[in-house]
Amino acid sequence: MSEDLLDEDDMREEYDFKHAIRNPYARLARNGPLVRLEPDVLEVFPDSQAVNEALRLLIKAAKDAQALPKAS
């Protein structure tokens, strides 16, 4: 364990964690950033797979558009 971390003896006596609860959303953040979708977007993209597929399609379209020769 890193020496930067406080060990139990460094905890102040006035800290009282008897009624503390763990963050129920912390486990979700382990896999990467969380993004909140607006309700109208959720109607179209119900899960992360649908969102990822749409974003990949958008990325491809943007790259394809950049590769097109400019009209003179």
What's the pLDDT score for residue 23?
Answer: 86
**β strands within 1-72, DSSP E:** none
Where are the chain's structural domains?
A: 35-72
**CB-based contacts of 25: which residues, under 8 Å, 6+ apart?**
34
Determine the pLDDT at residue 54: 97
Mean pLDDT (the chain) is: 83
pLDDT tens column, 5-31: 555 567 777 888 888 888 887 877 787
Q: Are 51 and 45 in contact (CB under 8 A)?
A: yes
pLDDT of residue 1: 46
Q: Report the distance separating Cα 62 and Cα 48, nearest Å.
A: 21
Greater confidence (33 vs 8) lies with 33
Q: What is the model's pLDDT at position 57?
A: 97
This prediction has a pTM of: 0.52
